[in-house]
Amino acid sequence: MPQGWKPTRIGDICKTNQQTYSLSEKWPFVNYLDTGNITENRISEIQHLVTGQDTLPSRARRKVAVDDILYSTVRPNQRHYGIVKEVLPNMLVSTGFAVITADKSVADSDFLYYYLTQKEIVDSLHAIGEQSVSAYPSIKPSDIEGLELMLPPLYEQHEIGRTLRALDDKIANNTMINHHLEQMAQAIYADFVASVDGATMKLKELCAFQEGYVNPSQSRTEYFDGAIKWLRAVDINESFIFDTSRTLTDCGFGSAGKSAYLFKPNTIAISKSGTIGRLGFVADFMCGNRAVINISPNNTRILPFVYLYLKSRQTEYPDLAVGSVQKNLYVPILQELDILVPEESVLLEFCDSVAPLFEQWKNNVAENRTLSQTRDALLPRLMSGELSVADHGNAK
């Protein structure tokens, strides 16, 4: 063990749930973060609630400060955690979070955050939660406080936290750039279709459609954790899809028989059930399950045009889906969608004009993938002291 690293109980270097909001404070509005709206430090939504107009959830009670760590106490393996770097006015978070405040005289908040987000720690806390008496896996703040770690000197904590934070900041910056790139492409598309003449065609005249039919038996362990990427609705990310959360072996893929089919890169995936109409670019060879439809333009040069068309109608897909028990967006529904198509030279000129935006978007996603892999490889080595940053930087 490196010099100066000491066994330390987490409860000795932090406090949990320090500040609670009282209705008697009568805030005129609240910016509220629920547990389901943050995953691995990525916030999907903060609800702005106006007192007297909106109902404040009973769980909206925890106050937060900069560098507080938010850790959901329900189903830890769903990774609803993050670290606060900006506090909005009148900000509250759910009581479903343990709000962890590091004692900065002995602990670095970023270091502690990354320690708690290691896979082995998440798995350990989830295992504790599965022993709880509640209807679903849940932990108590004391379960986090009871964890013991080897704590390096404060300056080393700062350097470790700074190193890992730099990687995450770059990932966040790329993600923001991608958001702007997509918005730009959508704006250009909207102007284009509003000003161009063309013929109305059916989408099936421009694209081939393939439903995913690979649904191996979950009881056959030999079917899973192989080299074949298995695309499910949960993996469709409104971006470029390089990886899937689960993979199949050759025999798992082959269990679909004649329906075993690999989606090709430079095609589009859309979810047909669950959250209906989620879109993504297939960026590698992968098969799909029954909740996924693959859309392949006959000419790959018009991929941006087809994607932007599908994106422009995204809010309609839940209403187009059919089914009495579970609604599904079936291939024939998509095939019959009307699409305005200009003459070929005009269409290709448009696609070539927006192609650099999509190429940069794809490159940023690929870079984020590499950065994430680098961070995940560094994390356990830095936390164990196997890799030292003590001699780097100017934190000493």
- The whole domain housing 239 covers 199-341
Measured CA to CA, the distance from residue 153 to residue 158 in angstroms comes to: 9
Residue 381 lies in a domain: no
Residues 203 and 142 in one domain: no
- Minimum mean pLDDT range among 66-80, 129-143, 220-234, 329-343: 129-143
Residues 145 and 206 in one domain: no
Residues 205 and 336 in one domain: yes
Q: Residue type for 90, please? A: N
| CATH number for the domain harbouring residue 266 | 3.90.220.20
Report the relative pairing of strands 240-241 and 279-282 from DSSP bridges.
parallel
The sheet with strand 97-102 has its strands ordered as: 14-16, 97-102, 69-72, 81-83
CA atoms within 13 A on the CB side of 18: 11
Residues 146 and 207 in one domain: no
Residue 241 lies in a domain: yes
- Asked which of 341, 359, 391 is the last residue of a domain, the reply is 341
Residues 325 and 212 in one domain: yes
Distance of CA 220 to the CA centre of its chain: 28
Residue 371 lies in a domain: no
Residue 249 pLDDT exceeds 60: yes
Bin 4: left if φ > 0, else alpha if -120 < ψ < 50, else beta. left
Residue 296 lies in a domain: yes
Contact between 217 and 248 under an 8 Å Cβ cutoff? The reply is: no
pLDDT at position 136: 86
Residue 37 lies in a domain: yes
Measured CA to CA, the distance from residue 361 to residue 372 in angstroms comes to: 16
Residues 248 and 335 in one domain: yes
* DSSP secondary structure letter of residue 264: P
CB atoms within 10 A of CB 311: 17
pLDDT at position 394: 47
Residue 396 pLDDT exceeds 80: no
Residue 389 lies in a domain: no
Residues 147 and 223 in one domain: no
pLDDT tens, residue by residue, 26-65: 999 999 999 999 999 999 999 999 999 999 999 999 999 9
Measured CA to CA, the distance from residue 275 to residue 393 in angstroms comes to: 46
pLDDT at position 389: 80
Average pLDDT over residues 355-365: 99
Residues 219 and 145 in one domain: no
Average pLDDT over residues 358-383: 97
- Asked which of 87, 122, 151 is the last residue of a domain, the reply is 151
Residue 186 lies in a domain: no
Average pLDDT over residues 382-390: 88
- Asked which of 311, 326, 341 is the last residue of a domain, the reply is 341
Query: Mapped to the 3 state alphabet, what secondary structure does 42-78 carry?
Result: EECCCEEEEECCECCCCCEEEECCCCCEEEECECHHH
Measured CA to CA, the distance from residue 187 to residue 247 in angstroms comes to: 36
pLDDT at position 317: 98
Residue 16 pLDDT exceeds 60: yes
Mean pLDDT score across all residues of the chain:
96
pLDDT at position 123: 96
Query: How many domains, in total, are found in the chain?
Result: 2
Q: Where residue 392 falls among pLDDT bands split at 50, 70, 90?
A: low
Residues 113 and 41 in one domain: yes
Bin 177: left if φ > 0, else alpha if -120 < ψ < 50, else beta. alpha
Measured CA to CA, the distance from residue 126 to residue 120 in angstroms comes to: 10
Residues 213 and 314 in one domain: yes
Q: Where residue 395 falls among pLDDT bands split at 50, 70, 90?
A: very low
Residues 103 and 205 in one domain: no
Q: Where residue 313 falls among pLDDT bands split at 50, 70, 90?
A: very high
Residue 163 lies in a domain: no
Q: Where residue 84 falls among pLDDT bands split at 50, 70, 90?
A: very high
Q: Where residue 391 falls among pLDDT bands split at 50, 70, 90?
A: low
Q: Where residue 87 falls among pLDDT bands split at 50, 70, 90?
A: very high
pLDDT at position 135: 82
